[in-house]
Amino acid sequence: MVDLATSPREHPITTISLAERRGVSQPYIEVMVACLRRSGLIEGLKGPGGGYVLARPARAIRLSAIAHAVQRNANPRRRGPKSRREKVPLRPCPSDLIWDFIDEATRDLLEHVTLDDLARAPAGESGKTLARKELSDQARYKDGLPGRA
């Protein structure tokens, strides 16, 4: 998605090019592209010079939308008993509480970071730095101070 966000709409990117840029197989890229297309995040342009482009501006695409489009059983934690004979615990396991906290923090962060934020991040900037900036912007917004537009 970052490759599409940083490429002009007049220059669609093919799945072959995406696979080469990211060092992954073309079939894997095709699966991701299909998910992103079904979700309305990207569009396919047919014909000579065709390929894929963003369906809307990168600033209008939240990372949560991308994650939702491509996730497949992203949470490895098992919910509920496997069989009727297993009993459901009366209180949550401490590790479940930790994972719930991590899940909530991740969802919140992905909801507040756009594809444009990610695409404009300086090369070499870690995800942790980007997350700190976004969380700082959220705190300013919650405190009534002007944040990013």
Higher pLDDT, 8 or 138: 8
Whether 73 has a pLDDT exceeding 50, the answer reads: no
**Phi, psi angles (nearest 5°) of residue 113:** -110, 130
Query: What is the pLDDT of the chain when averaged over all its residues?
Result: 80
Percent of the chain with pLDDT over 70: 68
pTM to 2 decimal places: 0.70
Q: What is the mean pLDDT of residues 51-66?
A: 95
DSSP character at residue 16 = H
User: Which of 27-31, 47-51, 124-128, 145-149 is predicted least confidently?
Assistant: 145-149
Regarding the domain delimited by 2-72+93-142, which CATH topology (the fold level of the hierarchy) does it fall under?
Arc Repressor Mutant, subunit A (1.10.10)
Torsion sign, CA atoms 134, 140, 142, 147? negative
Helix (H/G/I), strand (E/B), else coil: 62? strand
Higher pLDDT, 84 or 30: 30
Whether 113 has a pLDDT exceeding 80, the answer reads: yes
pLDDT of residue 87: 60
Higher pLDDT, 52 or 98: 52
Q: Using 50, 70 and 90 to split pLDDT, how confident is the model at 97?
A: confident
Which of 35-44's residues contact partners 24+ apart within 8 Å by CB, and which partners? 35/69, 35/70, 36/1, 36/66, 36/69, 36/70, 38/69, 39/65, 39/68, 39/69, 41/1, 41/65, 41/66, 41/69, 42/1, 42/4
